[in-house]
Amino acid sequence: MATPLTPTSDSDRTDVVDPRDAAWIKLTQFDWEGTRSGADSATRVSVSALVGSVFRPAQGPHELGRLANFRILDILGQGGMGLVFRAEDVQLQREVALKILLPASMRDPQARERFLREARAAAGLSHDHVVAIHQVGEDQGVLFLAMSLLRGQSLEEWQRRQGPASWPRVFRLGRELLSGLAAAHAQGLVHRDVKPGNLWLEEPRGRLKILDFGLAWNASAMASTTQEGVRVGTPEYMSPEQMGGSPVDARSDLFAAGLVLHRLATGRLPFAGKTLFERMAAMASQGSPSVREQRPDAPPELDQFIRKLLELDPERRPAHAGEALAEWVAIETGWLTRQQELGTSAESLRQAAEVPVGAARPGVVPDPLPASTHESRSLHGPRRRVALLLGAAGIVAVLAILGFLTVPQWLADRASVASVTTPTPTSAEPAEAADEPAGRRRPRPGDGLPEQEARFERLGRCPDARVTEASALIASRRQAGLYWTLTDANNPPHVFALDLTGDLRGAYVLEGSVNVDWEAMTADRAGHLYIGDVGNNHMRQRTRVV
Amino acid sequence: MPTEPPQTTTLPTPVPMVARFGFTSERVFDSETLFFHQGQLFMISKEREPGRTELYRLPLDQPGGERPLERITTLAPELMLIADGAVSPDGRRLALVCRHFAAIYDLPPGPDLEPLGQARPRLHRFELFKIEGCDWEDDQHLIMIGEDRQLYRLRVD
């Protein structure tokens, strides 16, 4: 275990230029001895002391120290339960955001085990709209998580400057939020602290990433070992059942998503109040708030849907984000269709849905860990100085290779119809091409290879809504005819069998199976199914399709 | 077109694991497709660092154990972002889908796939949708599924 640090006084801080020696971190909830500090009695801890107590000694001039297989390079920020560093995985030679959990918060063995178990479950979540956790581990008593190092800004920061979002942006961000939540809920994960500060807009077009799945629960579990009465979540975005300390499920996340979407559409949060009690009273008196009351041009279906998410009774909300996502997409598709009928081009709608995110502001990083009972924190004082220092150091972007937008179904339908007999398109990457000056086009994958006309037809849609991201498709030629089997990388490992000889109404889910991250599979002539497990860098599963 | 809502039936029988094979590699691989060719199991890995598409052979002679991956060759650099692949029923063509296009290789007659590293596949490029999975319906038609669960049929001459 790391040596507890002694809190320093406010007068100790100085203007600094060297983050190794004199950067200060403002811890708003816990100090290193495990006692909780109030929001207005923050504790400051010097980075140099932290480095000496937690990390192994530095092995080079440009690092703060070592932990497990990581070279600690800079501090990025702080949160309720720990600190976030920019670090390099020396084995994979890639930079990550490394979250270090405060040892004092981890003294209870059961809480530690629970944290590791749930963090590993969250690490198994692979989705375009959920930040990837690469590694969860423990070294010298310090629990850590290695996550993708993101570049961009949080939705909270973006919205503070931008105010209400345009409807294309509301629809797009809402779809991406619900899509990420749907993938998590399908795995039994509940976020418990959905808020704009935990939603990241990734450069350059603002692809939304949800941060910190599963960690709020753990924060609660561990906090409860040192204090009583902690509620998980951020008060402004708590559901009524969270406020009341009742058990929460996916529907609580949907209430928070409703608050996020309401604020995105109107620029304001409903249920105003300075205290938790005032907000609870506002909920009781106002009922489900309307977006149209503040923004009359809101699409009525959108307004009704957000109100449905904000129902005080969880039974009246969608059961989980997958259900909400299906409804959202239907509303979005209808709205986009109407806009096009009114003369707005698909391209302009697509561009309008983008959220340009400029260079990351200095030191802006994902909210490291969920707050428990505190108000949203602002970047000021010593933390701002740390941020400025970090800006000079620069943040290397996470591999942003696939920053394409998810295309609404009606656009895909149009594409398939238009392309059945047309020559090879010149712009297969509209999201990329939109930024290119006239007459220039960014190189795309596949450029340089001989191309042929693509002649294809659209067959229909897999009817099972649980398939959120198909990852592989194989033909199973069996006695009953020709079936198609696909796996879904983001859901619990299901195999879906489709009968393409009919009208796609037959879909069968082979339940059970094994807990692996499926992205590759094939079948041999005997009907054995071979499945690759990418998560553990092993190709290890061989199953038989029944 | 169907007039009734789609039906999904959950079969009670699980997909059992009947054998397990372990493979190790000095490099981090991200398996995107598995396929059989001439009785051999091959895997293509999307290795984003340093950004290469690698073809491996997976020996299946040691159930329960671990064998090192046998690297065969590096595929054309234009194939970054591969998502899935499949061999045609007649065993003569390999289709690889890479989000916005399908690349069709002519497979060599023998089990050695090293020549694929020098081959130039033919591309069929698409607009707007992202392909995640594919397999052959017959020797001329490739079925693909998009990220949005939409299924497509591509004719390959």
Query: Comparing B34 with A382, which gets the higher pLDDT?
Result: B34
Query: Comparing B96 with A533, which gets the higher pLDDT?
Result: B96
Neighbours of A161 (CB within 10 A): 7
Least-confidence region, from A252-256, A472-476, B34-38, B135-139: A472-476
Instruction: Sort out which chain A residues have CB atoms less than 8 A from B17's CB and list them.
Output: 513-514, 541-543
| pLDDT of A106 | 61
Q: Does A470 touch chain B (CB under 8 A)?
A: yes
Using CA atoms, how far apart are residues A400 and A232, in angstroms rounded to an integer?
A: 32
| pLDDT of A470 | 60
Best residue of B41, B42, B141, B145 to probe chain A, by most A CBs closer than 10 Å: B145
Question: Residue A380 pLDDT more than 50?
Answer: no
Closest to A81 (Cα-Cα) out of A51, A102, A67: A102
The strand pairing partners of A477, in sequence order, are A482
CB contact under 8 A, A508 and B10: yes
CB-based contact B132:B96 (threshold 8 Å) = no
Interface of B with A in 120-149 (CB under 8 A): 120-130, 132-137, 143-149
The strand pairing partners of A398, in sequence order, are none
Question: Residue B75 pLDDT more than 60?
Answer: yes
Closest chain B CA to residue A451: B123
Using CA atoms, how far apart are residues A250 and A181, in angstroms rounded to an integer?
A: 9
Q: Mean of the pLDDT values across residues A371-393?
A: 27
| pLDDT of A496 | 57
Written in H, E and C, the secondary structure of A402-444 is CCCCCCCHHHHHHHHHHHCCCCCCCCCCHHHHCCCCCCCCCCC
From B98, B125, B151, residue closest to A451, measured CB to CB: B125
Question: Residue A307 pLDDT more than 90?
Answer: yes
Share of chain A above pLDDT 70, in %: 51
Can you say whether residue B91 is alpha, beta or left, with left for phi > 0 and alpha for psi between -120 and 50 degrees? left
Least-confidence region, from A340-344, A355-359, A512-516: A512-516
Question: Residue B73 pLDDT more than 90?
Answer: yes
CB contact under 8 A, B31 and A519: yes
Of the pLDDT bands very low, low, confident and very high (cuts 50, 70, 90), residue A139 is confident
Taking only the tens place, the pLDDT of each residue in A213-260 is: 755 544 444 433 333 334 456 778 888 888 777 778 899 999 999 999
CB-based contact B135:B151 (threshold 8 Å) = no
Question: Residue A408 pLDDT more than 70?
Answer: no
Q: Mean of the pLDDT values across residues A185-199?
A: 86
CB-based contact A465:B5 (threshold 8 Å) = no
Q: How far is A272 from chain B (nearest CA, A)?
A: 38
Q: How far is A148 from chain B (nearest CA, A)?
A: 14
Least-confidence region, from A249-258, A315-324, A337-346, A498-507: A498-507
Question: Residue A126 pLDDT more than 50?
Answer: yes
Q: Mean of the pLDDT values across residues A460-473?
A: 62
Taking only the tens place, the pLDDT of each residue in A431-459 is: 333 333 334 445 566 777 777 777 777 77
Q: Mean of the pLDDT values across residues B24-50?
A: 76
Q: Mean of the pLDDT values across residues A418-430?
A: 27
| pLDDT of A472 | 62
pTM over 0.80: no
Instruction: Sort out which chain B residues have CB atoms less than 8 A from A452's CB and list them.
Output: 122-124, 157
| pLDDT of A199 | 93
Q: Mean of the pLDDT values across residues A38-53?
A: 45
CB-based contact A425:B129 (threshold 8 Å) = no
Determine which one of A74, A193, A303, A517 is catalytic. A193
Question: Residue B127 pLDDT more than 80?
Answer: no
Question: Residue A6 pLDDT more than 70?
Answer: no
The amino acid present at A7, given as its one-letter code, is P
From A406, A425, A507, residue closest to B125, measured CB to CB: A425
Q: Mean of the pLDDT values across residues B65-86?
A: 83
Closest chain B CA to residue A533: B31
Which one-letter DSSP state was computed for residue A213? T
Interface of B with A in 22-51 (CB under 8 A): 22-25, 28-36, 41, 43-44, 48-49
Question: Residue B62 pLDDT more than 60?
Answer: yes
Residue B74, class by beta-carbon neighbours within 10 Å (0-12 exposed, 13-18 middle, 19+ buried)?
Answer: middle
Query: Comparing A501 with A350, which gets the higher pLDDT?
Result: A350
Give, in degrees to the nearest 5, the angle at Cα B149 between A526 and A494: 45
Helix (H) or strand (E) holding A399: none
Q: How far is A412 from chain B (nearest CA, A)?
A: 6
CB contact under 8 A, B125 and A456: no
Instruction: Sort out which chain A residues have CB atoms less than 8 A from B99's CB and list them.
Output: 402, 404, 445
CA gyration radius, chain A: 24
Question: Residue A364 pLDDT more than 50?
Answer: no
Question: Residue A187 pLDDT more than 90?
Answer: no
Closest to A202 (Cα-Cα) out of A352, A307, A420, A359: A359
Share of chain B above pLDDT 90, in %: 17
Taking only the tens place, the pLDDT of each residue in A101-110 is: 766 556 667 6
Interface of A with B in 482-521 (CB under 8 A): 482, 484, 486-487, 495, 498, 500, 503-514, 519-521
| pLDDT of A486 | 53
Neighbours of B143 (CB within 10 A): 26
Of the pLDDT bands very low, low, confident and very high (cuts 50, 70, 90), residue A376 is very low
Instruction: Sort out which chain B residues have CB atoms less than 8 A from A345's CB and list them.
Output: none
Closest chain A CA to residue B135: A474
Of the pLDDT bands very low, low, confident and very high (cuts 50, 70, 90), residue A93 is confident
Using CA atoms, how far apart are residues B35 and A200, in angstroms rounded to an integer?
A: 37
| pLDDT of A301 | 93
Q: Does A450 touch chain B (CB under 8 A)?
A: yes
Share of chain B above pLDDT 70, in %: 74
Q: How far is B13 from chain A (nearest CA, A)?
A: 7
Q: Mean of the pLDDT values across residues A115-128?
A: 76
| pLDDT of A16 | 25
Interface of A with B in 384-443 (CB under 8 A): 399, 401-402, 404, 406-407, 409, 411-412, 414-416, 418-419, 424-425, 427-430
Instruction: Sort out which chain A residues have CB atoms less than 8 A from B4's CB and list them.
Output: 505
The strand pairing partners of B8, in sequence order, are A507
Q: Mean of the pLDDT values across residues A346-370?
A: 58
Predicted complex ipTM? 0.74
| pLDDT of A343 | 82
Size of interface A-B (CB pairs under 8 A): 292
Q: Does B3 touch chain A (CB under 8 A)?
A: no
| pLDDT of A172 | 92
Of the pLDDT bands very low, low, confident and very high (cuts 50, 70, 90), residue A95 is confident
| pLDDT of B55 | 92
Question: Residue B77 pLDDT more than 90?
Answer: no
Q: Long-range CB contacts (< 8 A, 24+ apart) of A282-288?
A: A283/A240, A283/A312, A284/A312, A287/A312, A288/A312
| pLDDT of A76 | 75
Neighbours of B18 (CB within 10 A): 12
Best residue of B29, B57, B149, B154 to probe chain A, by most A CBs closer than 10 Å: B149
Residue A108 is a catalytic residue: no
Share of chain A above pLDDT 90, in %: 13
Query: Comparing B120 with A543, which gets the higher pLDDT?
Result: B120
